[in-house]
Structure 1
Amino acid sequence: MYLTAHRIFSPATGRTGINAFRYRHGEGAKVDWTNPDPTVVPETEPGELASDEVEVAPGGNLVRSYLDVVAHDSTTVTAITQALDRFRASDFGSLPAVLRGAVGVRFSAEVGLAPEARPAEFDALRERLDRLLRSPPASTWRGLEPLTIEMKVSPDEETSFQLTHPAVERLRVVAGPDWRPTTIRVRKEVREDLAFYQGDILRELVRSLVPNVGAEEILRLGGVRVVDPAGKLIAEWPIRRTIGTGYCLNCHQHNTLIGSGAAWTLVGGGAVWKCTSCGSVQNNNGLWVATLS
């Protein structure tokens, strides 16, 4: 089991909130569950996403603080609570703070958070994990069909993006009576310069197609996907297929990294993480961004 809560800030909207995720591992994970390492399991064996609570739509956000808990799937709530109580009584002066044992814990926050404010921040993240552990909600957006944008490429290689009719009908409820669907056309060279199918560029596309509907509302409707005329998936937001962790330094999405693969190389070697969204490779889990924000 891997539980994680991040306090997130969205530079695009100014929103702040806590996103929490619960992952299950089953019996195939290569983890010593008698003493799971909270600095390793989230990066290399995060498990499969089971439930989540999302307050701030993912993508392009900054991590202000995070709390990770790792333990065997069968670990009781009482055992996790006791481990968090022991951790809470420890010194938060040196971050990230780590507790090892049958329940592993890791907590960190940005440098700007005063030491005397760290216990309260830990409590806020813990409360969200406790709620997710005791009463996991039905994940609403993951159970919905995403809003679909159809992409077409003309003979002169101009690319157009247009919401499908079912997506338009669903959006009318939240977009307001004055909203009129539009089509966005992009020249090939502009599309390539913007790396159109990576990271937050898809969110920018959605903002242009539906300018008066916020990202959180789009998320509640199931997110978005871009398909070609044959229905082949080109891009999606949020990433539904990810079972990753961390923070991608290229496309700025959370929980999209998977750990060391032999075919992934970086100059200098060392541990490697690859983003399941944009395909970029980095030599750390990206959560250090929180300490530099």
Structure 2
Amino acid sequence: MPLPPPVSEHPPAPASVDGMTKRAVVTGASSGIGEATARKLRADGWDVVAVARRADRLEALAAETGVVPFAADLTVAADVAALRDFLAASGSVNSVIQVAGGARGTDHVATGDVDDWQWMYDVNVLSTQRVVASLLPLLREAAKADGVADIVIVTSTAARVAYQGGGGYNAAKAAESALAQALRLELNGEPLRVVEIAPGMVQTEEFSLNRLGGDQGAADKVYEGVEAPLVADDIADLIAYAVEAPGHVNLDLVIVRPVAQSAQHVLARGPLHVREG
């Protein structure tokens, strides 16, 4: 069961519609972009239900920020149903922000580990479908009352440009992106915004570490020499803008990279400098 949030002596000014505080559901909230998004929205005055598998991390986040923690594995249908039931019983849902996902391995297609590929499809695509399908009725109710509701799906630039050793992740993120695009078309005519945020290189504590099997040295090399890769807070700021923009404004797709990364395969290592002449 989720734990009640602590009472803050200095709560943030509420993000509200007609005096009612807006509520967001943020998945993948135990680390990285999900955690940063939960923190950002709380700072902006939202009520936030923070969802992830690791209850201990969620509880620590709740104690610090006042989010409502809900431990769930989004690859398990019963967990997603429990999340839906909890939300339906506890208030409205104005925004669902699907961050949960991940990558495993850097194998080539010919040598790929099918179990890793299956895991990536499950956590990136099927989990997103489960969350959207389960929570869409709640978003529709909020949109009736408030005029707009949001579905934000965090994909990756890997959805758009394939690269060697990325086949499994490329395929999973491309499928998740296609899901977002189809969903936007299917919801046409309803006051529901479908936003896709596609980050390039973002340095977080766990993404590359998990992808590379826990090899910290290999994970560090991914970012070695790159001046100012994006960080989780950069993406959280974009997500906050998307859900706080005027109701008629929809950010269909935002591709965001650090300046040092001109394309998926073009990355400057070393200090950025202005060329002479």
Question: Does the TM-score normalized on the shorter chain lie above 0.5?
Answer: no
* Bigger strand fraction: 1
User: How high is the TM-score relative to the length of structure 1?
Assistant: 0.24
* Bigger helix fraction: 2
* Structure with greater Cα Rg: 1
User: How high is the TM-score relative to the length of structure 2?
Assistant: 0.25
